[in-house]
Structure 1
Amino acid sequence: MTTSASTVVERADDRNRYEILVDGKLAGFTEYRDHEEQRVFFHTEIDEAFAGQGLASRLVQEALTDVRAAGKRLVPICPYVAKFLLKHEEFGDITDPVTPEVKAWLRTRLG
């Protein structure tokens, strides 16, 4: 993942999420679960103390770039990720639709 000044995006596989850190502090994350060749994004959150700095966009951009590099496809259940994709059509070729089957599968994984 990349670094700029004091901001870093990292994939935290043990927590099934990508995290964005500012000066070493967790500023936010986007959560996923892997379903076969798909990475299903279901929640993105930025701490209020870091709001308005464009961190969510950077976080999702780098997460989706990593999905592409891993040869996976993505499913945008998370409203923020879905909104991001409307403005970033370059990820359209690796985006799968949100289906009732994927939602049902995710519910079983999240309990």
Structure 2
Amino acid sequence: MSMLVEENPARRRFEILVDDALAGFVAYQIQSGTKVLVHTEVDEAFEGKGVGSALARGTLDQLRDRGELVAVTCPFLLTFIERHPEYAAVVVDA
């Protein structure tokens, strides 16, 4: 199973493709020039297969690699970041 996370700026979200099928996304809003990660969704067909974690990791890795700081209001991502403190440096207060 191949997974690819890429940003779709036109839809304001990061998407994860699993074997070329859209499996989920992290939606964001722009507030005062800062991306605010507001919602994570994984298609039912892909739940329980690590897609949500791969999506979170891929999104946060890309943001960190670009040197972007983001705010996070999505409960799934807040929990993910608590469990993976290596991403805490990417996050600013919402």
Give the alignment's TM-score, normalised by structure 2: 0.90
Query: What pairs up with 1:1-111 in 2 under 5 angstroms?
Result: 5-36=1-32, 38-98=34-94
Any conservation in 2 of the 1:39–1:74 contact (CA below 8 Å)?
Answer: yes
SS in 2 for 1:72: coil
Higher relative contact order, structure no. (Cα contacts within 8 Å, ≥ 6 residues apart)? 2
Question: Alpha-carbon deviations, 1:3-54, whole Å to 9, x = none?
Answer: xx52211111111111111121111000012334522100000000110001
Give the alignment's TM-score, normalised by structure 1: 0.77
Give 4+ residue runs of structure 1 displaced > 6 Å after superposition. Answer: none
RMSD: 1.4
Which residues of structure 2 form unaligned runs of 5+? none
Cα distance between partner residues in 1 of 2:62 and 2:29: 14
Larger radius of gyration between Structure 1 and Structure 2: 1
Cα distance between partner residues in 2 of 1:30 and 1:91: 16
Name the count of aligned residue pairs.
Answer: 94
Cα distance between partner residues in 2 of 1:13 and 1:26: 15
Cα distance between partner residues in 2 of 1:55 and 1:27: 8
Cα distance between partner residues in 1 of 2:16 and 2:3: 7
Which residues of structure 1 form unaligned runs of 5+? 99-111
More strand by share: 2
Deviation at 1:88, TM superposition (A): 0.9
